[in-house]
A and B are shown apart, each in its own frame.
Chain A
Amino acid sequence: MPKGQSSGREIKVDYLARVEGESGLYVRITRGQVTDVQLNIVEPPRLFEAFLVGRSFEELPDLTARVCGICPVAYQMSSVHAAEDAFDVLVTGQLRQLRRLLYLGEWIESHVLSIYLLAAPDFLGYESALAMANDYPEVVKRGLALKRLGNDILSLLGGREIHPVSVKIGGFYRVPTKNELASLEPRLRLGKEDALRTLEWVAALPLPALSLNREFVALSHPDEYAINEGRVVSSKGLDIPVQEFTEYFVEEQVSHSNALRTKLRGERAYFVGPLARVNLNFDHLSSDAQAAAHASGIGFPNLNSFTSIVARAIEVVHCVDEAMRIIQEYERPEPYVQVMPRAGTGFGLTEAPRGMLYHSYQFDEQGLIKNARMIPPTAQNQYQIEDDLRAYVPQVIDLPLDEATQRCEMVVRNYDPCNSCSTHLLRLHVERT
């Protein structure tokens, strides 16, 4: 579109910074109205679902971990739960707790990265965390120390901090000793202080308003803050078992994106991730996380997607509390329960840091994979992100293009999108005509 046409504008970002993987954004404004919004996930397709076919169930956690360097544990957990569902295996007690602990480590690491290095610079007017670090060194140091804590939990349980190698169907290849886990206690005590200060800090950031009529969806469990087990519930009354997920959630191909976009039946956009979880499962947060959330002055349930950063910080407080509890109650179990493969289909849905991650697998009688399907959180949020942009662009339409573009990018970063995972998502183009 030629520049200088007074009737319209275009906002275009070819490669969004501070998101995981490659994606772009395109917004077209015609006579003051937003006429097109496209989130383009340009990360090349990964084809995991195709090359898992023919592989043994035993290889699943190591292969699926490779889908993502930020949330490998999520991929491992959804896949092991799906396989265990197919083979009718129940992992309970301390092994189940250790899996939660591993996942909590990943939540801490991923949330802190998002809060301090990816999202916060926007709210404080910096182009990057590096520029922010020059003016707020102590803040960034606090963030890096907390992130380190998450990584260290992952290393201790998973053998290494990226793509852990200890997870197997039925449990772990090796479980830590009580003393090894106890070594984390002093770190968690310091981490708790850092987590509480993080929450105070993000709640005081100048958060814009973007409240829409939304449908939040998350896993929910009667006894705990749901991470790897529960029913899929929504803020508008949906309540289904994981096995029925694809009967209600529908994937569609759109030409502008390499990710499949997911909608709720009836063409509804929906919202997954930390804000959905805090809104739906607030009562199951640790008592200190609930108290700190109340003290933050940000009310929940909250419809403003800009409060996602606050939800993330609340979850970090919860993670540190729950990790401490698990470690204090730990008694070393047998590393795994026996698994006998059989023909059948299994379903797994767990809460990745960014939201629900659905896996299903069909196995033959030897446990070889006949069919695999993964629905990642960012693909589920894609439609919601586009709705947010459609609502938000009129607020920023009169700003200089650079500033309008940057504000649109902030909207996207509220979702902490992980594009490499979802190309089974971002560049910004805003076009005004």
Chain B
Amino acid sequence: MSSGPEITSVKIVGCGNPLRRDDGAGIAAVRLLRQEVSRRNRRARWPNLRLDIIEVDCPGLALLDLLEGSGAALIVDAVATGDRPGTVHRFEGWEFVRTLISARYGSSRHVAFLTSHDLGLASVLSLGYALYPERLPGTVVIWGVEPEAVQFGEGLSLQVARAVPTLVDSICEDLDWWQREAVGTT
């Protein structure tokens, strides 16, 4: 064991399809985040974090492979819960799975997702927790933006576009927390 401060690897995965309007909010957020961390502030602000920023469309089961090997993971995506468009949500792994399942199917119903077309985040994560808990990062956080428009087309709706910088600031605060944790000052 090294006696120096611990380095934590953090994967930040932006999901979504930018050709379906607000479904691309996660991609827009990680692109903005990448601008932030490519500047000098990366080393200054998070010296003990190894950041890996990835863009995917709908990763399906491949998400499990993507997350493997990192200490923490942030998944950024459009998440529709019925709230006001532009609302920013933060969920921790299992909580996310439970929330989405109850929102979509009602809490009493056994979940029948997992069609080949519907390997959504909640399905993939719950399969991951059931099969390979040891391969998933200790912390998985899902950041979501409530979409307004998900029809074909490019460009975010106004409310969602306005929410993206706020979302990125919040993601940076999560990174700040892990930075403090890595050096043992939390």
Interface residues of chain A, those whose CB is within 8 Å of chain B, are 17-21, 70, 113-114, 117-118, 127-131, 133-134, 137, 140-141, 144, 147-148, 151, 161, 420
Contacts and interface: CB of A to CB of B under 8 A. Distances in A.
Interface of B: 61-62, 65, 110-117, 123, 126-127, 130-132
A20 B113 contact: no
Contacts of A134: 130
A118 B113 CA distance: 10
A130 B127 CA distance: 6
A133 B130 contact: yes
A17 B116 contact: no
A131 B111 CA distance: 8
A392 B65 CA distance: 41
Given A127-B110, A127-B112, A128-B114, 8 more contacts: A17-B114, A118-B116, A127-B111, A128-B111, A130-B111, A137-B131, A141-B132, A161-B62
A188 B62 CA distance: 19
A117 B131 contact: no
A144 B132 CA distance: 11
Contacts of A18: 112, 114-116
Contacts of B112: 17-18, 127-128
Given A19-B115, A144-B61, A133 B131 contact: yes
Nearest to A140: B131
A19 B116 CA distance: 6
Contacts of B115: 17-20, 118
B130 A20 contact: no
Contacts of B132: 141
B130 A130 contact: yes
A117 B116 contact: yes
A73 to B, nearest CB: 16
14 contacts: A18-B114, A18-B115, A20-B115, A114-B116, A118-B115, A127-B110, A127-B111, A128-B113, A130-B114, A131-B111, A140-B127, A141-B131, A141-B132, A147-B61
B127 A70 contact: no
A70 B111 CA distance: 23
A265 to B, nearest CB: 33
For the complex, would chain A's binding face be called helix, strand, loop or mixed by DSSP majority? helix
Nearest to B122: A130
Given A144-B61, A161-B62, A130 B123 contact: yes
Residue of A70, A117, A137, A148 with most partner-chain B CB within 10 A: A117
B113 to A, nearest CB: 6
A137 B127 CA distance: 10
A348 B115 CA distance: 30
Contact of A151 (B62, B110, B114, B131): B62
A179 B16 CA distance: 35
A412 B110 CA distance: 21
A19 B113 CA distance: 11
A20 B60 CA distance: 14
Contacts of B65: 148
Contacts of A141: 131-132
A20 B114 CA distance: 10
Contacts of B131: 133, 137, 140-141, 144
A127 B112 CA distance: 5
A358 B30 CA distance: 41
A333 B116 CA distance: 36
B111 to A, nearest CB: 6
Contacts of B127: 129-130, 133, 140
A117 B130 CA distance: 14
B61 A130 contact: no
A358 to B, nearest CB: 23
A149 B179 CA distance: 37
B116 A130 contact: no
A2 B117 CA distance: 34
B75 to A, nearest CB: 18
A70 B116 contact: yes
A78 to B, nearest CB: 21
A161 B63 CA distance: 13
Nearest to B65: A148
Contacts of B62: 151, 161
A148 to B, nearest CB: 8
For the complex of A and B, 7 pairs with smallest distance between CB atoms: A133-B130, A127-B112, A20-B116, A129-B114, A17-B112, A128-B114, A18-B115
B117 A130 contact: no
A378 B55 CA distance: 33
A131 B110 contact: yes
A195 to B, nearest CB: 18
A157 B112 CA distance: 34
Contacts of A117: 114, 116
B133 to A, nearest CB: 10
A148 B127 CA distance: 15
A17 B119 CA distance: 12
Contacts of B61: 144, 147
A124 to B, nearest CB: 14
A137 B128 CA distance: 11
Contacts of A148: 65
A163 to B, nearest CB: 10
